[in-house]
Amino acid sequence: MSAPDEDAARTRIQELREQIRDADHRYYVLDDPNISDTQYDALYRELVALETAHPELVTSDSPTQKVPGKVAEGFTPFEHPSPMVSLDNVKTEAEFRDWIDSANRYLKHEDERRYSVEPKIDGVGLELIYEDGVLTAGVTRGDGFVGENITANAKTVRGVPLRLRGDDVPSYIAVRGEAFVRKADFVAFNRRAEEAGEQTYVNPRNFCSGSLRQLDASITAKRPIRYSAYAIGAVRGASYPTQEAMLTAFREMGLPTTPETRYLDGADAVAARYVELVAERDGVAYEMDGVVVKVDDLALQDRLGMRSRSPRWAVAWKFAAQTATTKLLQVEWNVGRTGAVTPKAILEPVFLAGVTVSNATLHNVDELERLGIREGDPIEIERAGDVIPKVIRVLEDARTGDEKQIAVPTACPVCATTLVRDEEKVAIRCPNFACPAQIQRRLEYAASRGAWDIRGLGEKQVKQLLDAELVKDAADLFRLEVDDLVQLERWGTKSAENLLAQLEQAKTLPLDRFLVGLGIKEVGERGAKILARAFGTLERLQQATEEELLELDDVGEALAHSVLGWLAEPHNHDMLARLEAAGMQPTPVAAPTGGIFEGLTIVVTGKLEALSRKEAKELVEQLGGRAASSVSKRTDLVVAGPGAGSKLKKAEELGVEVIDEAEFLVRTGR
Ligand code: IVH
């Protein structure tokens, strides 16, 4: 490669990067695109081509680096430069005015103060750290002190600049903001996932957090996540007098902020803006669950300072759940994985909180009685955080007299087996283990993300396998062959091979994930972790006695009985044997043993000298203990450094042993 050639490439690369950054800024920050998608793609492709020809010219802040390279093994902990706190909530105008009054009292005067009034985006908190203008880390909130390092994923978020704009950027800045997914993008993704037999998500927030926690950042890159910045965790080389100046500086540096934010004087103006946003809520592109009100003057923010867990200078004024009235057309009875038969309300379609709603949950038979609901009833429904709305009351005055009593089924709607009432009497259950609906649900569950994570095996595909009588239970999945699958509609060699590869991978899952997939009642992700840690291998768990199970922390009778009952069933026994024969070999989960902290729950708080808090927690876990974040009756030991506050107090109140860092180091032998 000759030098002039290289110089030309360098110049062109720089030009292209500038143009792409500029286009991103116009699109994501200013909401005012300057070029078409086609033009953008052309610039991007030219840059990729040049960087491929000149790999030595690739830099980590090039826009091409938003698309990641390798898959992470896991996320490592990352200590925040200052705690990522949350906000106090208020629900009514009276409570909001109390907050204003108490802030004023604290400041000892009653000025018409200025507030920054921002939408509260219902997303996932995400901290972005820029050093000399370059994005060096993306960190989740975690427990507020230590989050997870998800840098590769954060880089893929739309509108997150890999390098801040301008020459005069702070030498270090930890930007705090919300990662979120727009309502329309969420609906479109779910629709496509459903068609492809992949897992759908319950709401945009859930979708966003699941996407950000993918180990393979190329998956995250395909998800339409956006970002909006609203606070600073720490900064060097810049200072801002007000929240307004800070948010303006964010935009100038290329960080997106919400256009709905206003800077307003006095409580009345804030209250009026709240009312306005409630009215605009449906029309806003993303889910908003309230308004965040912050004292605009940062010097006053400083004087107001923090309470134990939240700042005095800001408050979240939440929106009430949105409601609508409609009509209950019919009740449909669904059979779940464990046989529970639950009522679902089929509604006259109604527009609520940005989406058309045509069904709602009714939970169980007790709920029908509590509501006193009849078929044909005029009802009020509510949509809180989640996408699935619930029926909150019957509008009895609007009844016409044509409403009909709801017939609670006595036989399974799918296999006609006589239903039984379970012990707690809230659920009715189909006792037929071979009920086709239960089999379908069990297989879907085994394939789901928290369990065996078999992509491409969703509701539709499971149904195809069952209809073709290729499988009867989860063990049969492992006997499938390409020839079986290609006979089915919409399956090709490639998708068949993909599925078999996924199944192959599932054979060596960690024991806890394997257990989740068995679909044992009460054994969710948490329960499975406890069992896997305590017993290590499936063989050991199969020999567990009731006594051994009940001895475990957080294992109650319901879980213990469910596990023993499941293991005692001959068909489950048989399935486990067939899984084993198919080569299923879950990876044992080792509980650290032999350490001096074995079995102890330990809280580390305050400022430490020799170790960071993170290192101290790691040491606790290496030595067999459990590092917890809050002090309770279950806490065995608290390690407190200078500045330890409420946790130390709590420990003293509860009589929990407290040691300092020096003693901790002695005990750990450091
Ligand atoms: S300020 C001290 N501003 O709501 C500053 N938070 O509990 C704390 N959120 O965890 C956050 N929109 O994830 C702030 N405009 C906004 C926000 C916002 C959404 C989230 C954030 C935080 C939670 C408040």
Quickly list DSSP for 294-347: EESBHHHHHHH-B-SSSBSSEEEEEPPPEEEEEEEEEEEEEE-TTSEEEEEEEE
Q: Tell me, what's the pLDDT at 563?
A: 95
Residue 356 has pLDDT above 90, yes or no: no
Residues 653, 654, 660, CA angle at the centre, nearest 5°?
A: 80
Q: Tell me, what's the pLDDT at 25?
A: 92
The end-to-end CA distance of the chain, in Å, is 55
337 in Cβ contact with 436 (< 8 Å) = no
Q: Tell me, what's the pLDDT at 243?
A: 98
Q: What percent of the chain has pLDDT over 70?
A: 96
- Mutation choice for ligand 1 from 120, 209, 255, 310, CB with most ligand atoms inside 8 A: 120
Q: Tell me, what's the pLDDT at 3?
A: 65
* Residue 593 CA: distances (Å) to CA of 339, 623, 625: 39, 8, 9
User: Whose CA is closest to atom 4 on ligand 1?
Assistant: 120
Residue 2 has pLDDT above 60, yes or no: no
Helices 570-581, 557-568: inter-axial angle, 10-degree rounding:
70
Residue 12 has pLDDT above 60, yes or no: yes
Q: What percent of the chain has pLDDT over 90?
A: 65
Give me the residue label for tokens 């490592």.
76
How far is ligand 1, taken at its centre, from the CA of residue 180, in Å? 12
**Between residues 322 and 381, the one the model is more confident about:** 381
Read off the amino acid at residue 194. E
Q: Tell me, what's the pLDDT at 591?
A: 62
- Mutation choice for ligand 1 from 82, 178, 295, 307, CB with most ligand atoms inside 8 A: 178
| pLDDT (average), residues 309-335 | 93
Q: Tell me, what's the pLDDT at 598?
A: 84
Span 121-137, pLDDT tens digits: 999 999 999 999 999 99
85 touches ligand 1 (CB under 6 Å): yes
Q: Which helix H or strand E contains 185, and what residues bound it?
A: helix 183-195
d(CA 203, CA 190): 10
User: Whose CA is closest to atom 11 on ligand 1?
Assistant: 86
- Mutation choice for ligand 1 from 87, 273, 277, 301, CB with most ligand atoms inside 8 A: 87
Which of 259-273, 296-310, 629-643 is the most confident on average? 259-273
Span 387-430, pLDDT tens digits: 678 899 999 999 999 999 999 999 999 999 999 987 666 779 99
- Band the pLDDT of 507: cuts 50, 70, 90: very high
Residue 337 has pLDDT above 80, yes or no: yes
126 touches ligand 1 (CB under 6 Å): no
From 66, 91, 108, 120, the catalytic residue: 120
Residue 353 has pLDDT above 80, yes or no: no
- Band the pLDDT of 118: cuts 50, 70, 90: very high
How far is ligand 1, taken at its centre, from the CA of residue 441, in Å? 37
**Between residues 89 and 70, the one the model is more confident about:** 89
Residues 6+ apart with CB under 8 A from 441: 335, 336, 337
How far is ligand 1, taken at its centre, from the CA of residue 267, in Å? 20
- Band the pLDDT of 543: cuts 50, 70, 90: very high
How far is ligand 1, taken at its centre, from the CA of residue 310, in Å? 11
27 in Cβ contact with 158 (< 8 Å) = no
Q: Tell me, what's the pLDDT at 13?
A: 96
**Least confident among 54-68, 92-106, 143-157, 389-403:** 54-68
Q: What is the 3-state secondary structure (H, E, C) of 365-434?
A: HHHHHHHCCCECCEEEEEECCCCCCEEEEECHHHCCCCCECCCCCCECCCCCCECEECCCCCCEECCCCC
339 touches ligand 1 (CB under 6 Å): no
Residue 492 has pLDDT above 90, yes or no: yes
User: Whose CA is closest to atom 17 on ligand 1?
Assistant: 120
User: Whose CA is closest to atom 21 on ligand 1?
Assistant: 125
Span 270-315, pLDDT tens digits: 999 999 999 998 889 999 999 999 999 999 999 999 887 789 999 9
Residue 527 has pLDDT above 90, yes or no: no
Span 195-219, pLDDT tens digits: 776 777 778 888 999 899 888 898 8
Q: Tell me, what's the pLDDT at 18?
A: 94
Residue 384 has pLDDT above 60, yes or no: yes
* Residue 9 CA: distances (Å) to CA of 12, 19, 51, 282, 313: 5, 15, 9, 48, 51
231 touches ligand 1 (CB under 6 Å): yes
Residue 525 has pLDDT above 60, yes or no: yes
**Between residues 353 and 155, the one the model is more confident about:** 155
Q: Tell me, what's the pLDDT at 171?
A: 96
3-state secondary structure of 76: coil
Residue 382 has pLDDT above 80, yes or no: yes
* Residue 466 CA: distances (Å) to CA of 422, 444, 573: 28, 11, 21
d(CA 399, CA 383): 23
Span 580-628, pLDDT tens digits: 999 999 998 776 667 788 878 888 888 888 887 877 877 887 787 777 7
d(CA 187, CA 355): 9
- Cα-Cα-Cα-Cα torsion 216, 219, 223, 226, nearest 10 degrees, comes to 30
For residue 120, the ligand 1 atom closest to its alpha carbon is 12
* Residue 148 CA: distances (Å) to CA of 57, 79, 125, 141, 226: 30, 8, 12, 7, 19
Residue 371 has pLDDT above 70, yes or no: yes
Residue 35 DSSP one-character state: S
Residue 547 has pLDDT above 90, yes or no: no
87 touches ligand 1 (CB under 6 Å): yes
| pLDDT (average), residues 561-577 | 94
406 in Cβ contact with 345 (< 8 Å) = no
- Band the pLDDT of 268: cuts 50, 70, 90: very high
Q: Tell me, what's the pLDDT at 322?
A: 83
190 in Cβ contact with 201 (< 8 Å) = yes
Span 17-73, pLDDT tens digits: 999 999 999 999 998 888 998 999 999 999 999 999 999 999 988 999 887 666 777
pTM: 0.65
256 in Cβ contact with 31 (< 8 Å) = no
Residue 660 has pLDDT above 70, yes or no: yes
- Band the pLDDT of 455: cuts 50, 70, 90: confident
Q: Tell me, what's the pLDDT at 425?
A: 60
Beta strand pairing status for 225-236 and 114-121?
Answer: unpaired
Q: Tell me, what's the pLDDT at 622?
A: 73
331 touches ligand 1 (CB under 6 Å): no
327 is catalytic: no
146 in Cβ contact with 627 (< 8 Å) = no
117 touches ligand 1 (CB under 6 Å): no
Kindly tell me the sign of the dihedral angle through the C-alpha atoms of 638, 643, 647, 652.
positive
Average pLDDT, the chain: 90
User: Whose CA is closest to atom 12 on ligand 1?
Assistant: 120
Q: What is the 3-state secondary structure (H, E, C) of 501-544?
A: HHHHHHCCCEHHHHHHHCCCCCCCHHHHHHHHHHHCCHHHHHCC
